[in-house]
Amino acid sequence: MDISFDYFDYIVLGTYILVLLIIGFFMNKKGPAGEDIFLGGRSLKWWQIGFSMFSANAGPMMLIGFAGIGFSHGMVGANFEWLAWIFLLMLSVIFLPYYLKSGISTIPQFLLIRFGKRSYTFLIAYSLVSVLVVWLGSALYAGGLLISSIFGVSIYLPIIIIAAIATSFTATGGLKAVVRTSIFQSLIIIVSSVFLVFLGLKEIGGLDAFIAKTPKNYWKLFLPSDNVEYSWIAIVLGYPVAAIYYWCADQTIVQKVLAAQDLKQGQYGTVFIAVLKIIMPVIFIIPGIMCYVLFRESARADNAYIVMVTKLMPHGLLGLAVAALIAALIDTVSSSLNSFCTVFTLDLVPLFKEQDKAQQIRMGKWITVGAAVFGVLVAIGFANSGKNFFELTQGLVSIFAPPLSVVFLAGISWKRINAISVESVLYGGGTLCTIIGACNVFNYPYEGFWPHFLMLSFYLFLFLGIVIVLITLFSAKKEDKLTDRTMILSELRLHKNKNLRVVWGLLAVIMVLLYVFFN
């Protein structure tokens, strides 16, 4: 679908790119030479953390995918946003105090301190592959498809251009450049989406007309258990498995809170992203429902967002909407690049050679460039595969989350958990989950053999949870090797910050009221 731009749209789009580069490069020169490119000197404030987590999460496929869910199923997709606060609360009051107390710079270092080198090595490999393929390669591929369909150009051109723009300021400025551009890009995404919702309501005839013309079942958050795609059982049992890993143990997401100025700033940052989650279904899912009301005869779920943009956005705002899509893409790519270079430089390289800080920073910059090149190659490989590999990788990650969720939960909640049980779950469970996930995605042995991937994820989580408990109980109890930098859940002071308790309590009340209202 080609979008007809006029000169005003090109001015808006060009201004966005210019401001982005100015922010990315200008801010690099404000810090001292040799500044920490991996964690920004651990100096991030709460609002920087919240906005950077928001923009990393709000990738191009969220804009497109959530509008598609809204078009085909309604508000059920809001569960993936409105249930996230529970796991952000876990990150804030359970995982983050542990991480900061341990002094880790990357998530794999948690396993090194807690369970030893073999578990550490596993998570290094997994983190690098997942960032390169799932975050970076898939984001570039999805963005290439999107931009090429908008402008009618070859898919390779936008892949290369987006990678070059994101790499330019990420390699030189590191995490601080990523965070500062994330704030700007978050505002672009939010403002553009709000305009789209406003124009949609105006076209429909107001809020009352919108509600009247929308099927009643579209306003339900929980669908019946016999719903094939989004039953309430699958969401309640399966979503938490992936959410624990995504929000509490994924390097690309958690790196932002690891860079917090202190525990208080990190915890308030997680509260801020949880508050932003309240509005995300409104600005991302509602446009899809509006598209169903207005254009269901000509639109499809997979192009609902683009149809709304092309049909409703006037010139100027049209350029802003495309800028929002590009902003979501660039931020996902830049966050992925910085996460890759952090794990590679601080975790993988020390396994083979020691480096001082200056050498680490220099290598980190080159690794960022190298990761971008590999990401482009992965995206081009996806483009020539003839298959929808983006959905494939997302499905595999959802299935592969159970062993990681089990290990991280056990690692902070049970002191007796030992390296043998963890390695069994990581290596054995990881292999099992990958094989089952591949069979599920490829419909082997036949379509319909496997349960919904969310339910499958829950079953695997339950099975591996039992495995880790049994191996721990029946293996020889070894002397605790925790260093004085680590602790377990029972030793954490979870409720020291009274203001934090009040804010999380208010947020919980709001979420409960939303679920009562929509059900």
Q: Which residue has the tokens 């149809």?
A: 307
Q: Tell me the per-residue pLDDT of 25-53, one tens digit each, with 9 for 90 and over.
A: 775 555 543 455 677 778 889 999 999 88
Q: Tell me the per-residue pLDDT of 382-424, one tens digit each, with 9 for 90 and over.
A: 777 554 444 555 565 677 789 999 999 998 888 888 899 999 9
The residue that leads in pLDDT, 487 or 281, is: 281
Give the per-residue pLDDT at 33: 39
Q: Tell me the per-residue pLDDT of 200-214, one tens digit each, with 9 for 90 and over.
A: 999 999 999 999 999
Going from the C-alpha of 514 to that of each of 164, 197, 234, the distances in angstroms are 42, 19, 20
CB 330 within 8 A of CB 132: no
Alpha-carbon distance of 330 to 373, in angstroms, equals 15
CATH fold of the domain at 7-518:
Sodium/glucose cotransporter (1.20.1730)
Here the tokens at position 512 are 């409960």
CB 463 within 8 A of CB 455: no
Alpha-carbon distance of 372 to 377, in angstroms, equals 9
Alpha-carbon distance of 175 to 377, in angstroms, equals 24
Return the C-alpha torsion angle 267, 130, 364, 171, nearest 10: -80
Give the per-residue pLDDT at 219: 94
Here the tokens at position 87 are 């796991």
Sign of torsion over alpha carbons 441, 446, 447, 452: negative
Res 9 pLDDT > 90: no
Quote the mean pLDDT of the chain: 84
Here the tokens at position 125 are 């490999």
Res 18 pLDDT > 90: no
CB 337 within 8 A of CB 166: yes
CB 185 within 8 A of CB 20: yes
DSSP string, 397-465: HHHHHHHHHHHHHHHHH-TT--HHHHHIIIIIIHHHHHHHHHHHHTT-SSTTSSPPHHHHHHHHHHHHH
Q: Tell me the per-residue pLDDT of 290-310, one tens digit each, with 9 for 90 and over.
A: 999 999 988 888 788 888 988
DSSP state for residue 41 in the 8-state scheme: G
Give the per-residue pLDDT at 37: 63
- The reply to whether the predicted model has a pTM over 0.95 is no
Res 488 pLDDT > 70: no
- Best CA proximity match to 81, nearest among 301, 275, 230: 275
Alpha-carbon distance of 7 to 160, in angstroms, equals 24
Here the tokens at position 165 are 């723009």
| 90-117 burial: b if 16+ Cβ within 10 Å, else e | bbbbbbbbbbbebebbbbbbbbbbbbbe
For the chain, how many helices (H) and strands (E)?
23, 0
Q: Which residue has the tokens 């249930």?
A: 83
Alpha-carbon distance of 260 to 304, in angstroms, equals 38
The dihedral region occupied by 206, where left means phi > 0, alpha psi between -120 and 50, and beta the remainder, is left
> What are the extents of the domains in the chain?
7-518
Sign of torsion over alpha carbons 66, 68, 69, 70: positive
Residues belonging to the chain: 519
Res 367 pLDDT > 50: yes
Give the per-residue pLDDT at 180: 79
Give the per-residue pLDDT at 137: 82
Of the candidate ranges 88-92, 233-237, 331-335, 405-409, the one whose mean pLDDT is the lowest: 331-335
Give the per-residue pLDDT at 196: 93
CA angle 246/247/249 to nearest 5° reads 70
Q: How many CB atoms lie within 10 A of CB 448?
A: 7
